[in-house]
Structures are given as C-alpha cells and as structure tokens.
Amino acid sequence: MEPLRDEYIEIRELLRKHPNGMSVTEIAQALGKNKHSTGRYLDGMYAAGLVEMRMFGKAKIYSPAYRVPLASLISKMNERIMILDSDFRLLVINDACLELMGKQSGDLIGQDLRYVEVADPGVFDLLSVLEGKIGDSEQVLEYPLHLDGGEVIHLHIHIIPSVDEAHQAVYVIVMVDITEEVRMIDELREREHQYRELVEMADAIILKLDKNGNILFFNEFAETFFGYRKEEVLGRNVIGTIVPPEELSGRDLKDLIAQVCTDTDSYRRNENANITKDGRLVWVRWSNRAIRSDEGEVIGVLSVGNDISDRKEMELALLSQKDRLERSFQEIECIQRFSGTINSEMSLPALLHELVRVVGKCWSKRGPTGVRITHGDDLYESGIPEGLPFVFSKPIHANGEEVGSFEVGFGGRDEEPGYYEGKEQLLSMFAEKIGFAIEWMEAGLKVLKERDLSDTILATVDAAIFVLDPKGRILRFNRRSEELIGYREEEVLGKYIWEMFTSPDMIKGVRVHIQTLVETRRVSRIRGKLTCRDQTPIIIDWSNSVICDDDGAVTHIISTGLDVTRQVESEEELRRCKSVLDRLLADEQGS
C-alpha cells in the first residue's frame, strides 16, 4: 500500500484533537488551505476509510475514523480494483491494479483516470475501454488484454455505479483474471468440435475430393447409400458416377462441382441432385470444407452429405398444395370482391363496367385474362389481349329472358382440367348473379319511376294529403298541405296528427278516430277545425283510408283533406238569413 500524503496526516491529527468533528471550512482555516483543496483531500480520505462523515443540515462534518480502512481491505486482494469519483478521479486503487499499470510506488490517488500515463499500449487501450463503459448503468464485459510482451490476460470486468455515504456518485471497477478459465473453455470447445465431427460422420455420406472433383475417399455409409464399392469409384470423377451432368431443372452440375472444388468457402452448404448406381435420383444436402496445403492453397474438399430425398418430395408436394391453396384463395377473394361490387350502390352501366374490372383482376396474376359482358346493345370489356381465346361463355338471363352474355378467357398457362371445371362453376354463378343484379336494378328503376309519379301527383293535387304511420305520426306532407296550414314538411314530420288541432275535444276525437281506423281498416270521414300557423282557424273534411301488408297489418294511413271553411261559413250565413226571413214572415202573418 502507498504511503499517506502529508495533508492526510495533518488532517487526521487535527481531527483527533477535535473528536466531535469539524466542518470543511474549519479544517481549511486550521490548515491554512483553501476549501476546494481541503474538500478534495477529505473526499479521498473518506473513500479510503480514513475519516467518518455525517451531514449536519447542508454542512458535512468530518471526524476520525475508527473502522478498518476500505483501502486496507482491498489493497492485497488478487482482483484488480479501482474506485473513481464522478469526475473519474481515483479514490482507491489496490496493489494488483498498480502492478498492472506499472506504477510500483507512484501516487495515483486523486488523478483523473483519463490522464493517467502508462507505458504498456495494451493497458492504455484497457483504460480507454473502461472510460467508455463507465456510466449510470452497471456494465459487465470480458476483455482480452494484449500486453506489450505478447502475453494475453483475459479479464472479466464488472463496473458498478454506486454512491458513498454522502450520496456522492462513485464507480467501483473490479477486474478478475479469467485467463485459465478461457483456456480451459477453448480446449473444451475443441474437444467438443472433434467429438461432433465423429458423431456426425458416423451416419452420413463422407467424401474427399481433389480440386478436379476426383473421389479420393468414400466411406462405408456412402457405399451403402449409392450402391458402389470403394474400388468402383476411387479415382473417378463424381460427375457420371454419383452426380448427373445436370438436374431435371436444367442446372449444370458440372459447373457446380467445379465451383465447389475451387471456391469451397462460397459453397459451405449446398443441395443438389445425385444418382445411385441403379439409376435412382436422390437429393443430398452437402456440407463442404476446403482442404489446404501448408501454404494455404486449396488442394481438395471434404464433403459430408445427408439424404434429403424425402424432404424434397415433401417440398414438391407442399408447393403443389400451396399452388392449389393460392388458387382457392384467389377464387374466394374474387367472390368477395364480386359480392361487394354487386351490393354497391352504382348505376347499371357503372356496375357492369366494375364487374369486368374485378373479375379480370382476380386471375390476372396467373396470366393474361380477358372479360367481356354484353347487355343489350352495350359492351363492357377489360382490355382483352390480342388472340386470347375465350374458354367460357354464358348467357345472362333477367326476368326469364336472355339479355346479354358473360365471357371470360385465359391464356399463358396450363392448368389441370379439374381447375377449369371448378372455375367454370364459379363463373356460371357469376353470370347468374349478374342476371339477378340486372333484374333487381331494372325493377328498382321501375319503382323509382312509380315513386316519382306518386310524388308528382301528391305535389299537384289540390287537396291536403297526410301519410301517417299506424300510431298517427306524420310521414309525408304534400305541397298543398304546406300552403293550407303554413307549415313546411320538415317542421311537422314525426309529429302526431292530432297535434295540429287545438280543441281538446277535437284532439281526443282524432286520436280515437285513428285507433278505430286501424282496428276496422275501413274508409272513414271526419270534419275538424285546424289552426294554421298564423292562428287562422280552418275547417277541413278528412277522408281516411289504410294500406296493409300481405298479412293484413296496417302499415300506412292516407288522410286526404279539403278546406271547407268557406263552404261552412256560407252554409251558416245561409241558415242565419233563412232564420231572419222566417222571423219576418212570422211577424208579418201575426200582424
């Protein structure tokens, strides 16, 4: 352990004379030094366990330490240990660490780690790594320290951020020598590698080829697998014996073997077709390793192969199944798009044009596809490629009559017959749905025309017409009604018909009349006084009838009203005049 600084000795003797403790300011005044320097000395002594510190308000009070110093505990430990403050200044460093840094008796306490000078470049690099790793989080790393003399020391480094009793940040760095452990692990890995090679070769094809592809070694498993005896193949080229000149796909296997033998690192793993003595085609997955001379030149290849024929057959079956699933998915997607288009709100021409686009897009991924829909004299098609034959044609029927045709053509591919049969069923359904859509839309247009005619009649008839639901709420309100009572249609929609009347007796009578009308379903008449928006009373004669559904339930009430206000006033005036005349005649006869 290094000797104490003179300042440390002075501070320790001063504190022994003041066992109750002194502040930084008091110690600095007693020593004749500034507070900043004194504080640094005290921080170092506190970290080293030479003094105790307690907080008194915001002031730090220091007193003599009566514990075993931390530096004494760690100075002789085999692990290399350093403790730094938040400014990277060394607070504690043990003997093992000093020895590594080449500082036999130098005083490093208080120095910034980033500026510590060391002679060995490897140690310098280590300190740079430590500086970069120190932070707020705990760090664990393994570092191979290459010393200047060629020695390599493997270190397990643990950097622990912490705080001292004054809640000041410190960093504890512990470096453990794991060189022996690393050596043992490397040996274990090598033995494991050798063992794996022996195990893998026990049940695998093992070949050794020269750089020209001639067979130099052929193990027992290879003899069994390919059906050749060693004597039949040793010295012969793999091409023409266990490797065909080319695969069924057309890949040139002569070129592949040449590249494996000359550029083995690029073909460490490869799969290719092989052939047995009896002519069977098999698939092998090869692991290749270059064999090099002492000068590093590639002189051959060691190949270990595993039979993957079953896997290849499964892959081909899966590819076929994948293709079928993709086709089924396309059909499902086409049905969804077709249904979405059929159910959309479009005009008939726009709908047929969109159906051509949707159906054409469904199968365009598998080759050229053309779609054509005719409806009457109108033609809709999706850019049919020139010379594309139409393999499907179906008439379109609507309302029991042929109104057009639906045609789809495919090209550029060879599908299974069953695929076309399934597709024809789907397209037949499409043709049927197109006919239903045409029939439905034409019926809708007819309904719209009839509704427009009804609206025109309601708008032009010289009578107030109310359309009510079975509970008496107003659903429709024609123009004559607006002119008669002064309310716009949107102001009365949803209101009850009796809300238009003011007389309690009339309100009650209208409600009872509506209820009776719904129950009896018979045409009825009623006269009532109605108050207009401008508070003018009018008298209307109402003729009421009901509309029923197929089950006989009332769905609507139609009330037609005629303004008879003047007629009633004239009748009353006529009765008044008649009454006056009758009195005059009676008086004349009496005299």
pLDDT tens digit sequence for 378-388: 888 877 667 66
Range of the domain at 38: 1-67
DSSP state of 478: -
Indicate if the pLDDT at residue 467 is higher than 60: yes
Alpha helix (H) residue ranges in 80-234: 95-101, 121-133, 179-202, 220-226, 230-233
**CA torsion angle 473 476 478 479 (round to 10):** 90
Q: How far from the centroid of its chain's Cα atoms is residue 381's Cα?
A: 37
Bridge pairing between strands 169-177 and 152-163: antiparallel
Indicate if the pLDDT at residue 285 is higher than 50: yes
Indicate if the pLDDT at residue 563 is higher than 90: no
Q: What does the pLDDT average to over 514-521?
A: 86
Q: What does the pLDDT average to over 22-29?
A: 89
383 & 438 share domain: yes
Per the prediction, the chain carries an average pLDDT of: 81
Assigned domain for 234 exists:
yes
325 & 440 share domain: yes
Q: What does the pLDDT average to over 556-579?
A: 83
Assigned domain for 294 exists:
yes
Rounded Cα gap, residues 175 and 159, in angstroms: 9
404: domain CATH number is 3.30.450.40
439 & 532 share domain: no
Assigned domain for 13 exists:
yes
Assigned domain for 415 exists:
yes
Helix 24-31 with 6-17: angle, nearest 10 deg: 110
Rounded Cα gap, residues 448 and 454, in angstroms: 10
- The radius of gyration computed from the CA coordinates of the chain, to the nearest angstrom, equals 53
User: Could you write out the DSSP letters of every residue in 339-381?
Assistant: HHHHTS---HHHHHHHHHHHHHHHHGGGS-EEEEEEETTEEEE
20: domain CATH number is 1.10.10.10
Percent of all residues in the chain with a pLDDT value above 70, rounded to a whole number: 84
283 & 325 share domain: no
| Residue 408 Cα distances to 87, 140, 359, 389, 484, angstroms | 81, 69, 9, 9, 61
Give the chain's length.
591
pLDDT tens digit sequence for 393-410: 888 888 888 888 888 876
382 & 430 share domain: yes
Assigned domain for 431 exists:
yes
401 & 471 share domain: no
User: What's the number of domains the chain is made of?
Assistant: 4
pLDDT tens digit sequence for 229-243: 989 999 999 888 998
Assigned domain for 575 exists:
no
Q: Which pLDDT band, with edges at 50, 70 and 90, does 3 fall under?
A: very low
Q: Does the predicted TM-score (pTM) go above 0.85?
A: no
Assigned domain for 585 exists:
no
pLDDT tens digit sequence for 172-229: 999 999 999 999 998 988 887 775 566 446 678 888 899 889 999 888 888 889 999 9
Where among 392, 409, 444 does a domain terminate?
A: 444
296 & 223 share domain: yes
Indicate if the pLDDT at residue 309 is higher than 50: yes
Where among 307, 342, 361 does a domain terminate?
A: 307
430 & 492 share domain: no
440 & 477 share domain: no
Where among 283, 307, 331 does a domain terminate?
A: 307
**What's the helix, strand, coil split of the chain in %, to 5?**
45, 30, 25
Q: What does the pLDDT average to over 415-423?
A: 60
286 & 207 share domain: yes
Task: Give the per-residue pLDDT at 2.
Answer: 44
Rounded Cα gap, residues 52 and 69, in angstroms: 11
Task: Give the per-residue pLDDT at 262.
Answer: 82
495: domain CATH number is 3.30.450.20
400 & 435 share domain: yes
**CA torsion angle 577 581 584 586 (round to 10):** -130
Task: Give the per-residue pLDDT at 199.
Answer: 41
268 & 329 share domain: no
Indicate if the pLDDT at residue 69 is higher than 70: no
Rounded Cα gap, residues 360 and 354, in angstroms: 10
Assigned domain for 4 exists:
yes
Residue 278 vs residue 431, higher pLDDT = 278
